[in-house]
Chains A and B, each alone.
Chain A
Amino acid sequence: MRFRIYRYDPEQDAKPRLQEYDIALDPHDRMLLDALIRLKSVDDSLSFRRSCREGVCGSDAMNINGRNGLACTTNLKTLAEPVELRPLPGLPVVRDLIVDMSQFFKQYHSIKPYLVNDEPPPERERLQSPGERERLDGLYECILCACCSTACPSFWWNPDKFVGPAGLLNAYRFIADSRDRDLNDRLDNLEDPYRLFRCHSIMNCVDVCPKGLNPTRAIGNIKTMIVKRAV
Chain B
Amino acid sequence: MVSKLPVRRFDALIIGAGGAGMRASLQLAEAGLSVAVLSKVFPTRSHTVAAQGGIGASLGNMSEDHWLWHMYDTIKGSDWLGDQDAIEYMCKMAPQVVYELEHFGMPFDRNPDGTIYQRPFGGHSANFGEKAIQRACAAADRTGHAMLHTLYQRNVRARTQFFVEWMALDLIRDADGEVLGVTALEMETGDVMILEAKVTMFATGGAGRIFAASTNAFINTGDGLGMAARAGVPLQDMEFWQFHPTGVAGAGVLITEGVRGEGGILLNSQGERFMERYAPNLKDLASRDVVSRSMDQEIKEGRGCGPNRDYVLLKLDHLGPEVINKRLPSIREIAIKFANVDPIREPIPVVPTIHYMMGGIPTNVHGQVVLPQGSDPAAVLPGLYAVGECACVSVHGANRLGTNSLLDLLVFGRSAGNHVVGQNLTAQSHKPLPKDAGELSLARLARLDAATSGESVAQVASDLRKSMQSHCGVFRNQQLLAAGVQKVLELEARSQRTAISDRSRIFNTARVEALELDNLVETAKATIFSAEARRESRGAQARSDYPARDDANWLNHTLWYRDGNRLAYKPVNLKPMSVDSFPPKARTY
Contact = CB atoms under 8 A, between A and B. Distances in A.
B186 to A, nearest CB: 12
B509 A47 contact: yes
Interface in B238-259: 250-251, 253-254
A44 B502 contact: yes
A157 to B, nearest CB: 25
Given A94-B188, A113-B156, A51 B507 contact: no
A52 B217 contact: yes
Given A28-B250, A56-B49, A144-B44, A45 B502 contact: yes
B330 interface: yes
Contacts of A30: 251, 338
B506 A10 contact: yes
A129 B110 contact: yes
B507 to A, nearest CB: 5
Interface stretch (B98-106, B279-287, B310-318): B98-106
B496 interface: no
B337 interface: yes
Interface in A120-162: 121, 123-130, 132-133, 136, 140-141, 143-144
Contacts, number: 154
A49 B165 CA distance: 10
* Most B-side CB within 10 Å, residue of A43, A96, A126: A126
B109 interface: yes
A58 B45 CA distance: 7
A136 B107 contact: yes
Contacts of B41: 49, 51, 57, 59
B146, B501, B508 pick with most chain A CB within 10 angstroms: B508
Contact of A98 (B338, B500, B507): B507
Interface residues of B, number: 62
A11 B219 contact: no
A53 interface: yes
Contacts of A18: none
A109 interface: yes
A81 interface: no
B253 A54 contact: yes
Contacts of B217: 51-53, 57
Contact of A95 (B47, B111, B500, B504): B504
A59 B45 contact: yes
Interface string A30-48: 1000000000110111011
A179 B254 CA distance: 32
A121 B459 CA distance: 53
A130 B140 CA distance: 12
A25 interface: no
B337 A56 contact: no
Interface in B66-121: 98-99, 102-105, 107-116
B250 A44 contact: no
B112 A130 contact: yes
A65 interface: no
Nearest to B330: A56
A53 B218 contact: yes
A115 B50 contact: no
A9 interface: yes
A62 B104 CA distance: 32
Given A44-B510, A51-B218, A136-B107, A124 B45 contact: no
B212 to A, nearest CB: 11
A2 to B, nearest CB: 21
A52 B45 contact: yes
B44 to A, nearest CB: 6
A112 B510 CA distance: 36
B59, B102, B111, B146: residue with the most chain A Cβ atoms closer than 10 Å:
B102
Contact of A130 (B104, B110, B338, B457): B110
Contacts of B157: 112, 114
A216 B457 CA distance: 44
Contacts of A1: none
A12 B146 CA distance: 41
Contacts of B107: 133, 136, 140, 177
B334 interface: yes
A53 B157 CA distance: 29
Interface string A5-32: 0000111100000000000000010100
A209 B218 CA distance: 23
Contacts of A179: 105
B269 interface: no
B573 interface: no
A115 B105 contact: yes
A80 interface: no
Given A56-B330, A127-B114, A141 B142 contact: yes
Contacts of B103: 117, 121, 125-126
B465 interface: no
Nearest to B104: A115
Contacts of B49: 52, 56-57, 143
A130 B111 contact: yes
A123 B99 contact: yes
A168 to B, nearest CB: 16
A126 B110 CA distance: 11
Interface in B493-542: 500-502, 504-510, 513
Interface string B154-181: 1011000000000000000000000000
B45 A51 contact: yes
B42 to A, nearest CB: 7
B458 interface: yes
Interface string B130-168: 000000000100100110010001101100000000000
A132 B113 CA distance: 12
Interface in B310-365: 330, 333-334, 337-338
B251 A114 contact: no
Contacts of A45: 501-502, 504, 510
B332 to A, nearest CB: 12
A41 B458 contact: yes
A133 B145 CA distance: 16
B456 interface: yes
A50 B110 contact: no
Contacts of A117: 103
B253 A115 contact: no
Contacts of A40: 458, 509-510
Contacts of A123: 99
A75 interface: yes
20 contacts: A11-B505, A30-B338, A44-B457, A44-B500, A45-B501, A48-B509, A51-B41, A52-B45, A52-B217, A53-B253, A55-B337, A56-B330, A57-B45, A115-B105, A117-B103, A124-B99, A129-B110, A129-B112, A144-B42, A177-B107
Interface of B: 41-42, 44-47, 49-50, 59, 98-99, 102-105, 107-116, 139, 142, 145-146, 149, 153-154, 156-157, 188, 217-219, 250-251, 253-254, 330, 333-334, 337-338, 456-459, 500-502, 504-510, 513
Given A44-B513, A125-B102, 8 more contacts: A11-B504, A41-B458, A44-B502, A56-B142, A57-B44, A125-B98, A143-B44, A144-B44
